[in-house]
Structures are given as C-alpha cells and as structure tokens.
Chains A and B, each alone.
Chain A
Amino acid sequence: MTALITLTGVNKYYADYHALRDINLTINAGEFFSLLGPSGCGKTTLLRTIAGFEQVTDGVVMIGGADMAAVPANLRPTNMVFQSYAIFPHLSVAENVAFGLRKSKDIDKQTKAEMVEEALTMVGLAGYGKRAAHALSGGQRQRVALARALILKPKVLLLDEPLSALDKKMREQMQVELIRLQRQVGITFILVTHDQEEALVMSDRIAVMFEGEIGQLADPETLYRRPNSRRVASFIGKMNFLEAEVNAVSDVIAIDVEGLGPLQVSLEQAPEPVKQGPAVVGIRPETLGILFEGETTDRKLIDGVVDEVVYYGDMTYYDIRIKGISQAINIAMKNLIGRPVLEVGEAAQVIWDERALVVLN
C-alpha cells in the first residue's frame, strides 16, 4: 500500500479556538477512510483542510508526495461532495456534471457529452442529463454531486456527511452503492460522518476524533472490539463499564472486576498498556447473555434481576441488576424461537465470559 495523503503535525486555530490538535495521519491510495466523531470534533475542518478550503495554522499536508501549502482548492487533486450537495440550481443535471470539464479545453464537446453520460450511468442516473437540477430529489442530488466530482477522476474524493440528509432506507441503500462505487473506480474516499454504524459498514479504516484530536485509528473490527479508551468505547456502539483493579501485569493481566471477582485476561484485551491500580473494564451487551429455561451453557453464570426491558422486534435489550455491580448491565438478546420476553422484576441468570472484556485505563 502506498501512502497518498500524509498530514504531519497539523494544527488549526480559529482565533483562540484550537480546532485541530497536532494531527498525524497517513491515508493510503485506494482506501475507504472515515473521519468519525461527534459534532464539533474537527472532522469537517480536517476534511476541508485536505480540500484546501481551510489553511493549516501549523503543520504539513502532502497529497501524492507534493506539499499542498501553496496549492489552492481549485488546483488540488481532490474533489468534494458537500453536505448540502451544492448542486448549481440554475444549471441542468448535465451542465452540473460537466462543470469541472470547463477547464479541459482539449476535450471536444462530443467526448464531454459522452463522459457526462458515463458518469451519470455510473451513479444510476442515465438519461437524467436534460433535467433541471432544482427539480431533483435529495437522493438524486447526491448522485449528481457524486457524478460531478468523479467525472474529474480525482486522486481523492472527499465526502462531507453525504448521507445525513437522507432518510434511513435511502441511507442504507446509498451506503452499499458508495462501497460498490469506490471499488469500481478505485479512488481514495475520505468520508466524514458522525454515524458510527455508517463508518463501520463502509470503511477500511476509521479515525475517531474528539475535540480536535484523533482518539483512535483502526479498522472497524479492532475499533469495535478493542476500543483504546472509554470515550471511543462509548461513542461506538453500546458498552457496559465496570470498575476494576489491576493487581498484576505479566504475560496475563490479573484483575479484580466489581461483581465478577478476580480474573485473568490476556494482554491483547488491553489495547493500551495498563499498570497496576484502578482501571475500567468494558463489555459489549451482545457478548453477554441470559440463560433461558431449557437452554444450557458451559460459560460462567451470575444471578441478576431484570430492571428494564426494551423490545426492538428482532432483539430485546435488558437492563439487569447484579449484586456487587453499581450500574445495571445492558444485555442484548436475539428473540429466538421459544424465548420469552422477560418482565421487570424477574430473576435472570447472566452468561458471561472474561474473553469478551476489554481493559481500559
């Protein structure tokens, strides 16, 4: 894999506000990369810095081996799909898509028209060229924005929350289409999103950002299974947190977890090195279980009482109170055949396994 974009020591200030804090990042050619974080974390600023709409206060942005400091947005090998799509309402769909070709004087009209039709076909809008841009639906506008950016065959396509304005069904459909499109054109995609599910579904790698910093940079599975901090763990999916005390670290970690007692877990279960002393242990709701009548398990069991039931149709989420654990533990159960939905106050046997624990500082 070759590095396409490298950011070195990038800082950005707006007056006194420190929007980007010492960002070091390498994005590879052909990668689907996501910047994920809550609003105001600096992910859009970082994207706009790569696009050339924001100047770094400090640090170096390199694209394809060239320093971008003196290169304005219109000369960078990047194209962007804006959150609002920014479709030009006074132009037709074809004129919108062809907008970026205005500067290419060496391409004749006929070829341009063919390129436009090809780009529209790629995003599933073949034959829409003559339509007025302001008459399109949200999903169609987004496709036009994609075609308009991809027709220039940029090295990098930047996507600023492209799916946030669409409804749930449309969003899921577009996620799949974007992945397909990215594989088809082989261009590096950088996606900004606040939707963790979107990032997990679409990306090769994800950078999770908080307050202008990258909290963790990893592939989706590592990010979900081995978050390196409590804020990453709670931002991505649901996570139960238990107080714990690390007793010793050797080739295993000896740890005393509230309600569960003294345990031994492997070193990989601590994404960041841990030391002796107080720690937090995370465990995902779907890695826990409830032992229903007639079912058996060879895992460990602990007694609890149902505190809250949230029924989702395919799943039921239980909050279970367990002796010795200060907060109720959230457990996700598939509603398989023969499984009743428990009621508040019922006793429940919780199935757990220390292999599912992640140890955080």
Chain B
Amino acid sequence: MSLRIYAICYLIFLYAPIVLLPLFAFNDATVIAFPLSGFTTDWFAELATNKSLHAAVKNSLFIAFTSALTSTLLGICAARAGAMHRFPLKAGIMGFIMLPLVLPEIIVAVSLLVVVVQIFDWGLSNWTIIAAHVLICTPFCIAILNGAFQNLDPSMEEAAMDLGESRFAAFRLVTLPLVMPGIISSMLIAFTISLDEFIIAFFLSGASPTMPVYIWGLLRFPASLPVVMALGTILVTLSIILLTIAELLRRRGMARAGVKDKGGFL
C-alpha cells in the first residue's frame, strides 16, 4: 500500500509539470497562473507566423536529421564489430566509445568550443553542433544497435556467403533486414536527443540558433511565455510519438529474431 502511494507521488512529480504545458498553451491569458481564463488556439497560430522561429525549427530539424543519420551509421559499424568480431582490448574499446553517455554535456560543450574556436579557429555553424551531437548520440545508437546485432546469429551472414553471395550482399540481404528495426529505432532516438539538446547547441551555435536556444531566448520576454508553452506542447507530443515508434520497432525486431525482450529504453 505504501509502495503504491510512493509510486503515485513519484509519477505526479515526474509528469505534473509536463501536463501544465498544454494546459497553459490553450489558456487565453498572457500570464501563466491559475485560474485558467478561457480556451484559445491563438498561441499556436502565432507560432505559425513567427519567421525567426521557423528558421530555428528548420535548423534544428536539419541538425537532428544529419546527427541521427551519422551517429546511426557509426553505431552500426561499432555494434557490428562488437558483436561479430573478436579483437584485442575489445571490452576496453567498447567501454571507451560508450563514455560520452555519462560525460556531463557542459564539459563536452566547453571543450568542443575550445577545440573548434581556439585550436582550429573554425567558425561556429550548424556543422559544429552536428559534430557535437554525433558525439553524444553515438553511444545511445550503439546501445540500441548492440541489442539488435547481438541477437543476430553470426552464422547467418556466413550462411548467405556459403550460398553464393558476396560479403556485402550477405550483409544487405540477411543482416540488414534483421537489424532494420534497430536501425530505425536508433535513428529516432538520436533524432529526439539532438532535437531537444540545449547546452551544446547554446555553446556551439553560430548566427542562427536551434529551436531550444531560440525558446530560451524567448523566455526573456514574459509576453511570449504562452507561445513557448505552445511550442513545448508540440515538442513533447513529437518526442513521445517518436520514442514510442522507436520502442515498438525495437520490440518488433526482437520478436522477428525470435528472442526474449531484454530491457530497452521504454
């Protein structure tokens, strides 16, 4: 009984603030306070006409897509090597690749800023953010893809080669379809991480901010708070949808490979 109360309190603590987002996004008042005054979709309409916001969203989508693609590609290589080959210091190397998972983002951001600006003297742009996002997304991709590749029987590819296919064709015809749910799941999670990432984007963005950085900028003007709430609502919904799709695909992949479910992110 006490455990149940604890669980309920915990869930309220986790999700109550998020529930407030849509509540105020549809509230007909510029001040964020109870009681609610009335229903409106004005804030969403304002989102639709804000040019600089559109630019920020476009930036973010580009960065998120490119980072997701790159980190998933890197993840495929690492996970495949980790699952199918034995090489010296494998455990150490794999552990080292996973390290950015636990590195504080602020450290990554500051050190990358130093490297990019001080050492190489490159300008800051979307590409510097992409590089940093690839760095932090890759461990997540490896973690997801590891699951997909480790469930794969290494003789599968050999069997395809034995039946006359080249190494690459064997990978394309057998391995790829079997790990595809994992790949899509990895892309979606990397996309979500990059889309909401703030600290690195804040440090490394050039002239055009990403969406989270733009939202942070808006917070200085109290009148624009409801618009932020509306944007937040869309973001939360999008994140939940993407993560759900990612998890469903991961589970389908598990079922297809005929293995028992072993954890995951949801």
A residues neighboring B (CB under 8 Å): 51, 53, 72-75, 78-80, 82-84, 86, 88-90, 99-100, 102-103, 134, 148-149, 152
Contact = CB atoms under 8 A, between A and B. Distances in A.
A88 B174 contact: yes
B158 interface: yes
Interface residues of B, number: 19
A103 B164 contact: yes
B164 A89 contact: no
B145 to A, nearest CB: 17
A89 B256 contact: yes
By CB atoms of chain A within 10 A, which of B156, B256, B258 has the most? B156
CB-CB nearest 4 A-B residue pairs: A100-B163, A86-B159, A86-B155, A82-B155
Given A89-B256, A90-B177, A53 B158 contact: yes
Contacts of A82: 155, 158-159
Given A82-B158, A149-B162, 13 more contacts: A53-B161, A74-B164, A80-B159, A80-B162, A82-B155, A86-B155, A88-B156, A88-B160, A88-B178, A89-B256, A90-B178, A134-B256, A152-B163
B165 A89 contact: no
Nearest to A79: B162
B162 to A, nearest CB: 5
Contacts of B257: 89
Nearest to B170: A74
A145 to B, nearest CB: 8
B37 interface: no
By CB atoms of chain B within 10 A, which of A53, A82, A89, A100 has the most? A89
Nearest to B174: A88
Given A82-B155, A134-B256, A134-B258, A89 B178 contact: yes
Contact of B164 (A53, A83, A100, A134): A100
Interface of B: 153, 155-156, 158-166, 170, 174, 177-178, 256-258
Contacts of B162: 51, 53, 73-74, 78-80, 149
Contacts of A73: 158, 161-162
A74 B169 CA distance: 11
Given A86-B156, A89-B256, A102 B165 contact: yes
Contacts of B174: 88
A53 to B, nearest CB: 6
By CB atoms of chain A within 10 A, which of B159, B166, B258 has the most? B159
Given A89-B178, A134-B256, A103 B165 contact: yes
B155 A83 contact: yes
Contacts of A100: 163-164
By CB atoms of chain B within 10 A, which of A79, A83, A86, A100 has the most? A86
Nearest to A135: B258
A116 to B, nearest CB: 13
A86 B177 contact: no
